[in-house]
Structure 1
Amino acid sequence: MSIPFPAIDPIALSIGPIAIRWYGISYVLGILLGLYWMKKVTKTGPAFKPITAQSIDQFLSLAIIGIVVGGRLGHVFFYTPSLLVTAPLKIVYVWEGGMSFHGGLIGLILATAWHCKKSSTSFFAFADLLACTAPIGLFFGRIANFINGELYGRLTDVPWAVVFPYGGPGTRHPSQIYEALLEGVVLFIVINMASKKPFFTRNPGRLGGLFLINYGLARSFVELFREPDVHLGYFFSFFTMGQMLSLPLILAGAYFLTRKSSPG
């Protein structure tokens, strides 16, 4: 028993030689809705009052560059390092797909640090604001992964298993949907509920730490159902690359969650 894979063309719209893909649309939706939510949170959350709408608008272009460049370079260095030797020009072929969340996160952190230094804004307060927003982009990104039929799960016989177009004839876990729910919906609820609790707003950086811990745990859990990259396989006969990259996030999150410092 399985659920038929929805016949959705990865290309949402074609205008002459220009193809607009659902993956690109997911990035646009994530950024626009994230921008809206950031401004909304600053109006309702007392911890974010010092962050102005103007500061958020100024940050937008830096965030896009950080996410795209970091995500692409992360994919190359973490998952396809052979491109550095065999086809280095393909590193910039973003339209062909291949983005890494962990790389995108590093790029976003660097963009945030640059913006906060230029605008004299608290880095940790801004990171907390981003933590409230990031699950929105994660949700749409994972839905786009499902539409593309990529990053599918391992073979299974659960009733909701799916036969993916590029995953062979076997039925597989729709791991992209698992990630959309855990990293997107659940994480959004957890972080935004926590943003109303004094413990998490008393020290800037705690919400960011909570996000890193919960993302790392959610990603590591779903990796148990997700097909590992064929060319990478398992590390130490068990761990996937996604789990290996998530461990530093959990450790960093624990540090930010427990650190004691004055706001700034």
Structure 2
Amino acid sequence: SGKIPLTEDNILLNLLVETVANISLNNIEFGRLSITGLQCLLSCTYEKEKPFATPEYEVFRYSAILVAKQVSNDAHKILMRQLPTLEQLENTNSIKLENEFTDRQKVAKRLEPLIKFIEFNQIKARILIEIIEPLEIIPSEIIVSVYRRKALSNDSDSNGIRGKPQKPIDFAESNYVWDESARGSKLIIEDNGKVVRATNDLRVRQNIRAKMILENEGIFEWDVIIEKDCSASWVGVCASENFNYETWAGDQPTGWVLGSN
């Protein structure tokens, strides 16, 4: 089977691929994503200029372990030991090769549908030589082809990750405050912009916006600490224009909130 095309007609597929692509595979438990689902993700992002959260070595690691898990418990345990995460590799001098990998050929066979959608050229030569090649689950012609490409480019074509590099976001501490110019009239900002509270005479739900504006595509995480309990509270996003801070965001087309009640 060939690549699954990303088309305007397949909106659901596009949305699913973009969502999963922005999640590190290390955060997805083995078994939650099927081999077919993983193949779809990799084929739709293969050599595409789209944001992708997982380094390519971790893509290979996840693929191999996922396949091994379906082959046998022994194969799964061996590859879990033989394929450390990038973080573990930074603290490891060498990986001991295990000769008792009896299911090697079965893993290699089941891995074939995924192999053609893994961008091995994005993986550093040292990892290919010391970690991946000794496993003998990748066709030798693929390994040789990658080595030749790296020799010609002096390994400079390795970004470590597929797709379009994500732009760094300026997380200056001064942006982690409430915006004085974007708040309801009954909301008071304190502690150098880090705390907001309501006046005692607040009778209707009002809104306040953080100073940091999320302009890039992607997944963002933040912590909101509610120090004093109230009947209900909401956290969400809103447009920078055509938004009324005096009335509840949930009733406005330019606001989206998730509530505690």
TM-score by length of 1: 0.27
Larger helix share, 1 or 2: 1
Larger strand share, 1 or 2: 2
TM-score by length of 2: 0.27
Structure scoring higher RCO (CA < 8 A, sep ≥ 6) equals: 1
Question: Bigger radius of gyration, 1 or 2?
Answer: 2
